[in-house]
């Protein structure tokens, strides 16, 4: 399986533009699985509008996945039925990836934001990566937005 991580340029509230950037990344990644940062479709803001799974603006990303045979894991706020919102924050990316690989004997892929994300976040760290089952980095990105890395696992 070829796993890719992507750090697309994201604009808060610009779903169509963000979907287009995701579709480009899926096509560039040549991966079976392409992992994007959380809330990368909407921009990183807790009050970003929700996105319905059948939203027609998602079609270019769906088409890119069909064309390449990839599965894309991309995020946006969705209705949960409870009205609450929450996000997970990952710290110490490399250390956490190594621990997960060691404990579960599994490869790990983390995708994080690079560049401004909206919602007041003007600086982000990037560093998305893929670690093999031994916890060794096999592909990793820097802080630049609009980048993709992939690795055969």
Looking at residue 89, what is its pLDDT? 31
Tokens of 36: 């994007």
**Domain extents in the chain:** 2-152
Question: 6 with 128: CB under 8 angstroms?
Answer: yes
Looking at residue 43, what is its pLDDT? 86
**List of long-range contacts for 85-88, beta carbons under 8 Å, 24+ apart:** 85/46, 85/47, 87/38, 87/39, 87/46, 88/38
What DSSP element (H or E) covers 47? none
* DSSP designation for 50: P
SS3 assignment, position 119: coil
Looking at residue 92, what is its pLDDT? 46
Question: 109 forms bridges with which residues in the sheet?
Answer: 130
Looking at residue 79, what is its pLDDT? 64
Distance CA 57, CA 51 (A): 9
Ranges of residues in the chain with a pLDDT under 50 are 84-92
Of 134, 143, 135, 139, give the one whose Cα is nearest residue 152: 139
Superfamily of domain 2-152 in the CATH hierarchy: Carbon-nitrogen hydrolase (3.60.110.10)
Distance CA 123, CA 104 (A): 32
E strand residue ranges, the chain? 2-7, 33-35, 71-73, 108-110, 129-131, 137-140, 147-152
């Amino acid at each position: 399986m070829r796993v890719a991580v992507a750090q697309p340029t994201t604009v808060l509230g610009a779903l169509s533009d963000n979907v287009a950037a995701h579709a480009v990344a899926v096509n560039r990644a040549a991966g079976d699985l392409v992992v994007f940062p959380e809330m990368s479709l909407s921009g990183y803001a807790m009050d970003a509008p929700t996105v319905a799974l059948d939203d027609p603006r998602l079609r270019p990303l769906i088409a890119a996945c069909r064309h390449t045979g990839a599965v894309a894991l991309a995020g946006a706020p969705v209705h949960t039925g409870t009205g609450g919102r929450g996000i997970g924050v990952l710290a110490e990316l490399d250390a956490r990836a190594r621990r997960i690989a060691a404990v579960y004997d599994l490869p790990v892929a983390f995708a994080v934001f690079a560049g401004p994300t909206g919602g007041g976040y003007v600086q982000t760290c990037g560093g998305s990566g893929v670690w093999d089952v031994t916890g060794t980095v096999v592909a990793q990105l820097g802080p630049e937005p609009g980048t993709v890395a992939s690795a055969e696992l």
